[in-house]
């Protein structure tokens, strides 16, 4: 990062750096969601059971990914604060340590996920039809998907580290390449490519692989993204000054990564575990409810992208300004981002509430009776969840601020309250202890972020989060010594 780029974040107006950081993050997250939406789009034209299968698989997959993602938050926060303190050398070292640590975790989880998919899904108390028609397909998808986890973790680390550095456009470009690859491979591998008698090809060029094809397409695309990300970090001038020697374990940096990363890893994995718990409850319903839940979540993940982008941009702006010793500027950035997030998400809520059924129908087009029921349930789910949209905008920004400050324990606490004290109990009570049934699931899910956003906003006013986690004087001193040498 040039001095001018760094100064843009710690000097001058706040709207411009927030926007310049946020929009590539939104696009990157949109591309990230495109993996799941692409699978849902093509599998929705293959079979409703295949859509239900990825609905079952996703919470478990997300649980594994979330744990490693917590350490990426630590790397992003440390890189941001070192850059704010004008210590590019320390930023490069912590980036290398984070990448090596996260990829190692990804490799371990890849083995566990590949061999544990079947046993884990067998623990779900499935409806009879779900157990015979949906669960086996979910196992097929997960066993292949988990083989690509180390590459995925490599890309996610690359993206987080460059975000902390202040570069959100390079990860966006790499993600675009991988999504295009996935979009091309998905229909080819799911449906196969037929014979071409005119060319003397009597057997299918590519066999029909169904849900396995969707998993293979994602695996290949993720592998390409991970390899490109590693190349950019080590062999180009983009991002922190990372060298191959920085992969050798350094206990001091690893301790910082673990200290900051564990609360975030627990936060994200607890969130994923809450999704698993919700799935355990939802899997007792008929297949169309399960498919609607998964489809609705994918659509809502698209709607939430502006809030996610603002939250991650806030992470970087807060981190760099606290690293530069500018706590009041960091607070002003958070207030600005929270207001923008609330307004944007409220506008999206109006749109989604007005046209839920046409939106859902785009992704469920098999024309069967099962598909029609899925559309009905998913449209109701989308409409009910619009109530929480503005709150999620505020919540994402505030949690991003706490992470940027390195105060990951606070972020973890509010996420746990949102999910485990509000959402999970509310879903259980409304779905099983009242006559609401599936509607109770939708209402319970929406309640969590409303309460969480209110609590996080009240805590923010205390101002106790505005301390950097790095020793700014020591970092600056080290950088000066290196420069003199």
Q: Is 201 helix (H, G, I), strand (E, B) or coil?
A: strand
Element (H, E) at 482: helix 472-484
How does DSSP classify residue 198?
A: G
Is the pLDDT score of 78 beyond 60? yes
pTM across the whole model:
0.78
Joined tokens for residue 296:
């609705």
Question: 456 is in which domain, residue-wise?
Answer: 3-195+205-474
Q: Is residue 454 part of a domain?
A: yes
Lowest mean pLDDT among 86-95, 180-189, 222-231: 86-95
Residue environment code for 395-413, b if the CB has 16+ CB neighbours within 10 A, otherwise e: bbbbbbbbbbbbbbebbbb
Tens of pLDDT, residue by residue over 292-308, are 888 888 788 788 889 99
Torsion sign across C-alpha atoms 9, 13, 14, 17: negative
The token pair at 260 is 């900051």
pLDDT at 37 over 90: no
- Cβ atoms within 10 Å of 292's Cβ, excluding its own: 31
First to last CA, the chain: 21
Distance CA 362, CA 350 (A): 19
The tens digit of pLDDT for each residue in 408-450 reads: 899 899 989 998 999 999 999 999 999 998 899 999 999 988 9
**The pLDDT value given to residue 155:** 94
pLDDT bracket for residue 203 (50, 70, 90)? low
CA distance 482 to 461: 40
CA distance 184 to 341: 34
Span 449-454, mean pLDDT?
91
Q: Which tokens go with 389?
A: 């949209």
**Mean pLDDT, the chain, integer:** 85
Would 485 be classed as within a structural domain? no
pLDDT band at 480 (very low <50, low <70, confident <90, very high): very low
Residue 482, in any domain of the structure: no
- Is residue 75 within 8 Å of 257, Cβ to Cβ? yes
Q: Give yes or no for residue 320 having a pLDDT over 50.
A: yes
CB atoms < 10 A from the CB of 279, how many?
Answer: 20
Provide, rounded to the nearest whole percent, the portion of the chain with pLDDT above 70: 91
Cα→Cα distances 61→44, 93, 141, 143, 331, Å: 20, 30, 10, 10, 35
Are the C-beta atoms of residues 314 and 400 closer than 8 Å to each other? Answer: yes
Dig out the tokens for 212 from the structure.
């396995």
Q: How many CA atoms lie within 13 A of 295 on its CB side?
A: 36
Q: Is 483 inside a domain boundary?
A: no
Q: Tell me, what's the pLDDT at 299?
A: 82
Q: What DSSP string describes 174-192?
A: HHHHHHHHHHHHHHHHHH-
**Count of other CB atoms within 10 angstroms of residue 338:** 26
Taking 50 as the threshold, does the pLDDT of residue 94 lie above it?
A: yes
Specify whether the CB–CB gap between 77 and 260 falls below 8 A: yes
Give the pLDDT score at 264: 87
Residue 484 in any domain: the answer is: no
What tens digit of pLDDT does each residue of 148-160 get?
999 999 999 999 9
- CB neighbours (10 Å) of residue 255? 10
pLDDT, one tens digit per residue, over 216-267 is 999 999 999 999 999 999 999 888 888 888 888 888 888 989 999 899 888 8
**Structure token pair of residue 70:** 């917590």
332 occurs within a structural domain:
yes
Domain count, the chain: 1
Q: In which band, very low, low, confident or very high, does the pLDDT at 125 lie, cut at 50, 70 and 90?
A: low
Q: What angle do CA 64, 145, 68 make, to 5 degrees?
A: 25
Query: How far apart are the C-alpha atoms of 302 and 392, rounded to whole Å?
Result: 13
CA–CA separation, 427 and 442 (whole Å) = 8
Mean pLDDT of 455-464: 90
Averaged pLDDT, 325-335: 93
| Residue 479, domain member (yes or no) | no
Domain-located, residue 480? no
Burial class from Cβ neighbours inside 10 Å (0-12, 13-18, 19+) for residue 62 reads middle
**Mind listing the pLDDT tens digit for each residue in 348-368?**
999 989 988 888 877 766 567
């Amino acid at each position: 990062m040039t001095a001018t780029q760094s100064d843009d974040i710690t000097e001058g107006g706040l709207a411009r750096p927030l926007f310049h950081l946020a929009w590539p993050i939104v696009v990157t997250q949109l591309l990230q969601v495109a993996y799941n939406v692409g699978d849902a789009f093509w599998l929705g034209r293959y079979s409703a059971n295949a859509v239900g299968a990825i609905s079952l698989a996703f919470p478990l997959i997300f649980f594994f990914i979330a744990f490693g993602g917590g350490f990426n938050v630590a790397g992003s926060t440390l890189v941001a604060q070192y850059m704010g303190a004008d210590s590019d050398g320390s930023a490069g070292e912590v980036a290398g340590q984070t990448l090596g640590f996260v990829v190692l975790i990804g490799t371990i989880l890849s083995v566990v996920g590949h061999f544990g998919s079947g046993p884990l899904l067998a623990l779900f108390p499935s409806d009879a039809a779900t157990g015979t028609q949906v669960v086996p397909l979910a196992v097929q998808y997960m066993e292949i998907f988990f083989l690509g986890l180390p590459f995925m973790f490599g890309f996610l680390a690359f993206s987080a580290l460059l975000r902390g550095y202040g570069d959100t456009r390079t990860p966006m470009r790499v993600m675009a390449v991988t999504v295009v690859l996935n979009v091309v491979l998905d229909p080819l591998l799911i449906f196969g490519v037929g014979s071409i008698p005119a060319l003397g090809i009597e057997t299918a060029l590519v066999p029909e692989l169904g849900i396995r094809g969707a998993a293979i397409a994602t695996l290949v695309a993720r592998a390409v993204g991970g390899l490109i990300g590693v190349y950019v970090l080590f062999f180009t001038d983009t991002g922190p000054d990372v060298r191959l020697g920085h992969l050798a374990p350094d206990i001091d940096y690893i301790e910082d990564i673990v200290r900051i990363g564990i609360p975030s890893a627990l936060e994200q994995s607890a969130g994923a575990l809450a999704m698993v718990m919700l799935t355990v409850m939802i899997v007792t319903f008929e297949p169309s409810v399960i498919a609607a839940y998964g489809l609705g979540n994918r659509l809502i993940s698209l709607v939430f992208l502006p809030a996610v982008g603002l939250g991650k941009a806030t992470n970087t702006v807060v981190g760099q300004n606290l690293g530069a010793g500018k706590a009041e500027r960091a607070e002003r950035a958070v207030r600005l981002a929270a207001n923008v997030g609330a307004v944007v998400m409220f506008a999206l809520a109006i749109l989604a509430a007005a046209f839920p059924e046409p939106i859902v129908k785009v992704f469920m087009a098999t024309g069967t009776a099962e598909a029609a029921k899925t559309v009905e349930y998913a449209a109701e789910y989308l409409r009910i969840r619009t109530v929480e949209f503005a709150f999620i905008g505020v919540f994402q920004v505030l949690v991003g601020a706490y992470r940027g400050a390195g105060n990951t324990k606070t972020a973890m606490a509010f996420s746990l309250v949102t999910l485990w004290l509000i959402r999970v109990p509310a879903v259980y009570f409304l779905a099983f202890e009242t006559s609401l049934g599936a509607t109770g699931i939708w209402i319970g899910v929406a309640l969590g972020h409303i309460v969480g956003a209110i609590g996080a906003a009240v805590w923010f006013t205390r101002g106790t989060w505005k301390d950097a986690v790095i020793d700014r004087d020591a970092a600056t001193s080290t950088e000066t010594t290196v420069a003199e040498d």
